[in-house]
Amino acid sequence: MRIMLKGKIHRAHVTGVNVNYEGSIAIDKRLMQEADILPYEQVQVLNVNNGARFETYALEAEPDSGEIGIQGAAARLASVGDIVIILSYCQVKDEEAHNFTPKLVYVDGKNAITETKREVGAISF
């Protein structure tokens, strides 16, 4: 078995932080659906602005709200306006991993979907 990227929301903007909440990340329901992320599923969040990386679980926010809310202790790792990448993973049998493709969701400055992809391509720098 290999752990593979299953879904990604790329460069979303944090719309709120609440350190007093029990914990989690609230994500616009439509973004979750497009990235194949379920409520209460573990996600990894990468903060482009400060380099912080953390795991939490996803909660649904109102569809088409654009909400990306960092809550609980993780709220200390982000500020409103920060750009984050939200990742989910799955285990795949080795023989299936070579052809496995994640669901990639790209958003604009208001967290509206601009593009979705389900393909594997070469990375260039």
Specify whether 88 is catalytic.
no
Catalytic residue among 57, 65, 89, 106, which?
Answer: 57
Give the integer Cα–Cα distance in Å for 27 and 62. Answer: 8
Coil, strand or helix at 11: strand
Cα separation, 41 vs 81, whole angstroms: 24
Which residues, in sequence order, are CB contacts of 38 under 8 Å at separation 6+?
Answer: 32, 58
124 noted as active-site residue: no
How far apart CA 59 and CA 91 sit, in angstroms, is 22
Supply 75's token pair. Answer: 């709220």
Q: What are the residue numbers of the active site?
A: 24, 57
